Chains A and B, each alone.
Chain A
Amino acid sequence: MFAERSNIWVPSNNQRFVETIWTRDADVVILDLEASVPDDQQGPARDGIRDAIPKVSKGGASVTVRVNHRQWKADLDGGVWPGVFRIICPQPETAEKMRLLDQHMALLERLRGIPLGSIEIYPLVETVRGVANAYEIATASPRIKIFSGGSLGFDTCRDLLIENRTGGTVRESVYYMIGECALAARAAGRQPKNGVGFDVNLSGDVTQADASFRSAETNRKAGIYGVGGGLHPNVIEPSNRGQTPTQEEVAEAREVIKAFERLDAQGQVSGVLNGKVVDRWEAERARKLLAWADACDRQERWKQAVKAMTLAQEKSGG
């Protein structure tokens, strides 16, 4: 596992962002060919993905590409290259769409010397039809490892003809939709990418560092990892920080595991530690936290190593 604490969306047509995003310390860079790229720049943006991959990953970030749901085939042609580990498919509504993506990606992997089936598909459900068909979509391809949807984004609001209400508190519909997508994901054996901190920032301001930290932290405390980031570089560091377990949490997790191992050795299934129940579920939670903390640590060391190499190369003019 590697850590995906901060996912930063970069419009692929914006060369300034493409050239500089590696300095902002994101865990994942998403090269976007969808909402942030105007129609008349789709072609050049798509053609520029191959060159953009090494640029945006100079700081150790993993690279994903979000295809345009209307022009997904052409975007796959432009986006499936060595160095890309995942394709994000926005607004999926049917299992058939996932199968078509899978087939075309297999063709491109074969042609371009990429291990077959190695590039993931991440269906990002953004419409009510996608929510209604969540389970079918989530199970449509073995490339699907993570899955999310149901947040009351503008696409869902358009489907329902309702205001998005950033700045307001209307989130009741989202409980069902997010719940349905999270349940479908788990039932399908996929990792849900939805977080519980979705209502921390309703202002519409995508630059709010404090809100990003609180959202990332809320998710971390709920045991939801790999959920953070956004549209503006301001959110990267707070997301990394908010999603990384604290030293106290790591110490507590180690204590829980030791306590459970002692109980287990004595043939007991549960006990009490510091006033809290310790059982196999708590031990499992603690192990998951430690694994995540380890992944965060490895992620940081990886990024530092890659950055150091990049800076050395740039200094030597290589």
Chain B
Amino acid sequence: MLKRDFIRRSALVLSPLDRKAVEAAWTRNADAILVDMAGLPAEARREARPLLRDDALKLARGGAHALVRTAADSLHADIEAAVWHGVSGVLVSYPEDAAAVREAQDAVAEAERRHGVEPGTVELGVILGTPKGIWNIRAILTASLRTTMAVLDERHLAAGMGLCVQPDWDPFKFYVRGRFITETASLDRASYGPFGVHRFGMGFPLSCIPHAEASKEEVHKAAKWARDLGMNGALCPFPSWVEACNRAFTPTDVEIENHRRLHEAYVAGVAKGRGAVPLGGGRFVERPQDELAKAMIAFRQRCDARDAEKTAALAQARPHSQERKP
């Protein structure tokens, strides 16, 4: 059974051939770890595929969800190598129509069957980074009920549109991000849950010009901006981004305290027969604000539970890793 209410505020991206990074990844406290096959040339992918099966369990030791990004020109081979027990999902690179997603869906189902993975449990994600992919976004998202995640790859999209992005001019401010967020959030509730598919995206300029020297403050600011737009998490090309993203995509204590007070004021006002409850300073709270408050409080609780889950997994994994040290 597919779970859709997961928390993935950070997805650490790494190459399967960077063995040092793979061995250390589980200690980085990322909510997800994305093994990137698409970043490798064809020959290197042949070398990497046999490693994926064991790596999935390694990566999940610290509580992270293991994901594999497939390359567009080796979809079937990458899925065959990736879909084993321990992998949460595979991502399809730059699909441009529903057929591409259905092809991946069928390949995943077949791999589940052959590898003894519980049917219907491996998720699909789509990485959107071409003009045609954005244009056909609705058809792509609704092509498979396995789709739980969508990534907006602005860097690839900019290149595909012939743009040379400068840090002081945001090419996607007024249309692309809004369209991505609206379409991913507006899917049928019964099939995709109340919030649609999980949205990975980053704030500008790091969304188009990622760099390892970005300070934690810069990363946090960009990630917070992405969250304020409606993104749920960000791909982290560098481990240094993980902590800032986890923090940025979590409602703060101050925000939650405000929501609690608002909810309490609303409940008290309704008990007195008010529907629009005055808060002072010309402000009111009505049902929509209260529904938002309750949703945010519940979301923060899920974030806290996720953090607790990872902490427990890390604590359990660390003694074993210490034993394995020479």
Contact = CB atoms under 8 A, between A and B. Distances in A.
Contacts of B185: 128, 159-160
A52 interface: no
B21 interface: no
Given A35-B276, A41-B275, A176-B177, A158 B295 contact: yes
Contact of B288 (A11, A35, A163, A208): A35
A250 B90 CA distance: 62
Interface string B150-186: 0000000000000000000000011101110111011
A294 B173 CA distance: 39
Contact of B295 (A161, A180, A232): A161
B138 interface: yes
A163 B179 contact: no
Given A36-B275, A206-B284, A164 B182 contact: no
A65 B282 CA distance: 24
B255 A131 contact: no
Contact of A36 (B195, B286, B292): B286
Given A162-B227, A173-B178, A155 B282 contact: no
Given A11-B275, A41-B275, A173-B230, A158 B182 contact: no
B106 interface: no
B325 interface: no
A275 to B, nearest CB: 30
A161 B296 contact: yes
Contacts of A205: 281-283
B182 A162 contact: no
Contact of B282 (A132, A172, A232): A232
Contact of A176 (B174, B227, B291): B174
Contact of A35 (B175, B275, B282, B295): B275
B292 A164 contact: yes
Contact of A208 (B196, B230, B276, B282): B282
B181 A173 contact: yes
A198 interface: no
A94 B1 CA distance: 29
A97 B282 CA distance: 34
B247 interface: no
Contacts of B270: 38-39
Nearest to A133: B186
Nearest to B174: A175
A204 interface: yes
A129 interface: yes
B150 to A, nearest CB: 14
B272 to A, nearest CB: 9
Interface in B267-288: 270, 273-276, 281-284, 286-288
A170 interface: yes
B230 to A, nearest CB: 4
B287 to A, nearest CB: 5
Nearest to B194: A159
Contact of B182 (A155, A177, A232): A177
A231 B277 CA distance: 12
Contacts of A176: 174-175, 177-179, 181-182
A155 B174 CA distance: 21
Contacts of B173: 172, 175
A240 interface: no
A43 B70 CA distance: 56
Chain A CB within 10 Å, residue with most, of B186, B194, B275: B275
Interface string A263-292: 000000000000000000000000000000
A132 B183 contact: yes
Contacts of B274: 38
Contacts of A20: none
Contacts of B288: 35, 126, 153-155, 158
A165 interface: yes
Contact of A154 (B174, B275, B292, B299): B292
Given A35-B275, A173-B229, A205-B282, A132 B138 contact: yes
Contacts of B229: 162, 170, 172-173
Contacts of A175: 173-175, 178
B289 interface: yes
A196 B139 CA distance: 31
B192 to A, nearest CB: 11
Contacts of A41: 273, 275
A231 B285 CA distance: 11
Contacts of B23: none
Nearest to B249: A161
A37 interface: yes
Contact of B228 (A34, A38, A129, A162): A162
A36 B276 contact: yes
Contacts of B289: 154, 164
Given A38-B274, A162-B228, 5 more contacts: A160-B181, A161-B299, A172-B173, A175-B175, A232-B282
5 contacts: A11-B276, A36-B275, A162-B228, A176-B179, A206-B283
Question: Which 3 pairs show the lowest CB-CB distances between chains A and B?
Answer: A176-B178, A205-B282, A154-B288
